[in-house]
A and B are shown apart, each in its own frame.
Chain A
Amino acid sequence: MPGIMIQGIWTPVRAAYWGIPEHILFTIISVVGVALFFYIAARRINPLLRGAPDVRFDRLPLRVRTLVKYWFGQWKHPRYRVAGTLHLCIFAGFIILATRAFYLLLFGLSDDFAAPGSLARVYDVVADYAATIVFLAVSAAAVRRVFFRPVRYSVPAQFGKGHPVDAIFLLALIAILMYSESLFEATRAAIQIQSGMPVEFLPVLSLPWLLKNAFTALPVATLWNVHLGAYLIDVLTFYFLLCYRPFGIQFHVETSLFNVFFAKLDRGTVKPVRWGISDSQLDQVKSFGVKRFEDFTWKHMLDFYSCADCGRCSDNCPANAAGRPISPRFITIKARDYSFQHFPVFGRTNNSHSLVGGIYSEDEIWSCTTCGACEEECPLLIEYIDKIVDLRRGLVDDGNVPKSIQKALKALESRGNPYGKMEKKKADWTKDGAFQQSCRVPVLDGRNGADTLYFVDSITSYDDRIQAIGRATARILDSAGVNFGILGPTEKDSGHDVRRFGEEMLFMALRDHNTDAIRSSGVKRIVTSDPHAYNALKHDYKDMPPVEHIIQVMAREVRSGKLVFKRVDNDSSVYAYHDPCYLGRHNQVYDDPREVLDAIPGLKRVEMSRCRDRSFCCGGGGLMLFYEPKEDERIGVKRVRMAAEAGANVIVTACPFCMVNIEDAIKVSGLEGRMTAIDLAELVDQQLMREPAREVQDEIVAAGVDAQG
């Protein structure tokens, strides 16, 4: 029988397949396979070379750490327990088996290739179990897809067709790969048994071991044919998969490493109109934003390739849950399908179609609240907010803006706030009779100075309901002994949402105006009660004094003992804290508000199941309040119901826009009378023990001393 023993392992060399010598056949297969793969890869890289520039090679040590945590460590996967575990098995298996795949391929090419020594044996055992686990995992995944059909895999008709057969086909191919390589080993061991040769070790209950026991009884000649056949199938499947993967979601097997390495490192920021073009050079840019596919940066195009179509993003998207015509998953998949169609591997490139009005609708692009839930969930760290902002920039550049938003933008341009209210009335919220007597809020206009600026922003200054949050914040700062003032009429809107709605130049005008005003005031730090303003001052503005949200100030003063609270007097109130997107997810302030709430004696607090980084957006702030979306149910209504489900009857917010949306939702959902909302600053202001109560504290201290003495 043709074959030789190498280090005790029987090797199929100088075998022949239908007359073709084995090493010639596999050399041809390998050359064709590798060449084809490189050609396909080059064609896939082609559109990226035409894309806009992106800055992704900076901070290499941080990028390596990100890679280790999110790619190698599969950090985000366990957020979905079942799918995450399955994927961990498949991924770990792939990493372990990658070495063996390589080894096996080379096997067929050379006469005397063999892995050295006992390390190989240990590796082989591990690899055998890995193959078994992968086989079971893909089988489980296939069963899950066919019989259990998780909702997030389904494809609503408006977003196109799904690829269910493709998904099963790919799982099947992986299963075949595992099976054939196990069969290869199993038949070799069976041959060894049958021929009385030393039998290689196969670990108990691994797939190769099971197959060996199943096949042992067959005659050697049959075993030999099965053995050769298994090898051929293994190699063909391997190369087929290699070349097929770039045509679908399996491409993420190759691109995931790069996608995670090049991931966005800065939360809460928005990319510039074009990397490499400074603000002053912007006038030279012919077209703003993304209008056609090539306007995306190369990294965003890589994102499209890397999507595994898992649906976790859309599953967490509040706009999608409310029935708005947006699904982050399909923003990516449609773009990927577009690139496959217009930059095909085989065939000519045909491009220059407009994306919005083509694969995307305008409503789709305006529906996003920029809450970041999608980005938080994606295991491949695919970005969405920058793409939405870029698409909006393109729409704004073409004048294609919904009417209600045009009105707000126009008011922002003429009056510096979206309500069109007069500048000279910006500080009127401080002039409320009772308030003015208890708390002095100086306007920092050159005559007055202070070390801290309370940046109030538009809604807190002008909205009748929200002004109460401003006053509560001012009283808290006062009680904490902070020397602060406001800018008053010279303060314009922070521009945070102007930027995220794509009006970059108006944003820059607002930012530059405010930057000057802040610098002229000479303040050394900034406090705000508005998370959108907080995020803007921290990430969109440059060279600002340190910025804090009032919650961070409160938490610090609670820890230092400066803020002490009265007992809550309503025993039936159950409080749930709603994490605002721009304080929570985008800036990761989760513990401070909870610390403050827990410092209030007698306060009963529950957590909603969607909290912290899984918090469910209230519906959106800033300019989103002016947008009239098509939706089945208001996003805020869903959130208010979540609070009721958690057993709460008071929702605590920390953002003026959340307050507006939630109070509105309470009325709309019919929960009026059974649910209320309060801002954390209002609650703290209400429960704060102030000066007169110091006497009570002194008495308590004195009583304590007496008791000891």
Chain B
Amino acid sequence: MDILVCARRVPDTAENEIQLNRTGNDIERDDLVYSINEPDNYAVEEALQIVARSGGKVTVATVGTDDDEEILRREMAMGANQGVLLSDEAFSGSDGKGIATVLKGFVQKEKFDLILTGVQAEDAGAQVGGMLAAMLDYPFASLVNSIEVLDGNRLKISREIEGGNREMSEIDLPCVLSIQTGINEPRYVGMRGIRQVASLEIPTYGAPDLGIDPASVGEAGANVKRDDYFVPALGKGAEILQGTNEEIADKLIELMKAKGGLQ
């Protein structure tokens, strides 16, 4: 099975302190460390496991610039067969639809049985997967937390829904799935693995290679524009439960039941 995983490089929330810059129109980016968007990493691990069971190959693609190559290399060190950079000046400033358009151009250039995206990028809107499927006219499922290959043409998947429940479905290939974290336990990629892929070739494709009209992507083609960045006003804080230990425990249980944490 030939699998494409669409990945994105984002500032690592664990290792950065996100603050507004001085002019207030963006976050302070000077001292940021970046890594692959976490759900995308889960998606790559899932793809590798599927291929280990059923054969095939895994391609990881990202829409970005040279800086974004590092995540492609990391996923190749993890085991992906090929990394691809989709880069063009025309792509810069793309909204979700623009990114989906670029990815669609790449998908139509090659042939993939299955396309995986992360459910959401840490700094974006959980939309690319669905838009890409619509553009390709492929079936789509979001929040996927388990995948079973039934035969060459179908998958049995489970989606995460409220209350810790799962919705089981069958879906025809080729399709697009957006992957939820926790679907598996991604393997560790060490410095050694990264060094071993340091000199591997990563092809770069621009708008002409993918047959994309620059007017439909980038800032020019964006329907959504960022208006402002601000730190939200602080609310009154957490709810502190009062009473004896038994009373607090009872209230807690009630709350958890009400919110679906207990069955």
Contacts and interface: CB of A to CB of B under 8 A. Distances in A.
| A and B form one complex | yes
B15 A505 contact: no
Given A410-B35, A414-B35, A415-B33, A503 B15 contact: no
A657 to B, nearest CB: 21
Contacts of B193: 399
Contacts of A503: 190-191
A492 B35 CA distance: 20
Contact of B188 (A288, A406, A414, A424): A406
A288 B14 contact: no
B109 interface: no
Task: Sort A-B residue pairs by CB-CB distance and give the 5 closest, nearest first.
Answer: A399-B187, A420-B15, A401-B188, A505-B191, A414-B33
Count class of interface residues, chain A: 20 to 34
Contacts of A424: 31
B188 A407 contact: no
B192 interface: yes
A399 B185 CA distance: 10
A422 interface: yes
- Quick one: which of B185, B187, B190, B193 has the most chain A CB within 10 A? B190
Nearest to B193: A399
**Chain B: interface secondary structure?**
loop
Interface in B194-228: 195-196
A505 B195 contact: yes
A397 B187 contact: no
A409 interface: yes
Contacts of B196: 283
B17 interface: yes
B190 to A, nearest CB: 6
B253 interface: no
Given A283-B196, A396-B188, 4 more contacts: A399-B78, A399-B190, A414-B15, A422-B16
Contacts of A403: 185
Contacts of B14: 407, 411, 420
Contact of B191 (A399, A407, A509): A509
A406 B191 CA distance: 12
Contacts of A406: 186, 188
- Quick one: which of B15, B193, B196 has the most chain A CB within 10 A? B15
20 contacts: A283-B195, A397-B192, A398-B187, A399-B78, A399-B189, A414-B12, A414-B33, A415-B33, A420-B12, A420-B14, A420-B16, A422-B16, A422-B17, A422-B31, A424-B31, A503-B191, A504-B192, A505-B191, A505-B195, A506-B190
Nearest to B196: A283
Nearest to A410: B35
Nearest to A283: B195
Interface in A421-435: 422, 424
Contacts of B186: 406
A400 interface: yes
A505 B195 CA distance: 9
A413 interface: yes
Given A400-B187, A411-B14, A288 B192 contact: yes
Contacts of B35: 410, 414
Given A399-B78, A403-B185, A422-B31, A411 B191 contact: no
Interface residues of B, number: 20
Contacts of A414: 12, 15, 33, 35
A413 B191 contact: yes
Given A410-B35, A414-B12, A420-B15, A397 B191 contact: no
Contacts of A506: 190-191
A409 B188 CA distance: 9
A125 B31 CA distance: 82
Interface string A373-404: 00000000000000000000000111111010
B193 to A, nearest CB: 8
Nearest to A282: B192
Interface in B1-31: 12, 14-17, 31
A406 B41 CA distance: 13
Contact of A411 (B15, B78, B185, B192): B15
A62 to B, nearest CB: 34
A505 B190 contact: yes
A32 to B, nearest CB: 52
Nearest to A406: B188
Contacts of A410: 15, 35
A397 B195 contact: no
A415 B32 CA distance: 10
A406 B196 CA distance: 19
Interface in A487-516: 503-506, 509
A108 to B, nearest CB: 61
Nearest to B198: A283
Contacts of B188: 396, 399-401, 406, 409
Contacts of A504: 192
A509 B191 CA distance: 9
A362 B193 CA distance: 21
A505 B190 CA distance: 8
B184 to A, nearest CB: 11
A288 B188 CA distance: 14
A411 B14 CA distance: 8
A505 B17 CA distance: 27
Contacts of A288: 192
A504 B193 CA distance: 12
Interface in A258-295: 283, 288
A403 B188 CA distance: 8
- Quick one: which of B16, B188, B193, B196 has the most chain A CB within 10 A? B188
Contacts of B190: 396-397, 399, 409, 503, 505-506
B76 to A, nearest CB: 13
B68 to A, nearest CB: 16
B97 to A, nearest CB: 32
A396 B188 CA distance: 7
A333 B35 CA distance: 43
Contacts of A396: 188, 190
A415 B15 CA distance: 7
A342 to B, nearest CB: 26
Nearest to B14: A420
Nearest to B34: A414
Contacts of B15: 410-411, 414-415, 420
Nearest to A503: B190
A206 to B, nearest CB: 64
Given A414-B12, A420-B14, A505 B33 contact: no
Contacts of B33: 414-415
Nearest to A396: B190
Contacts of A407: 14
Contacts of A409: 188, 190
Interface string B72-115: 00000010000000000000000000000000000000000000
B186 to A, nearest CB: 8
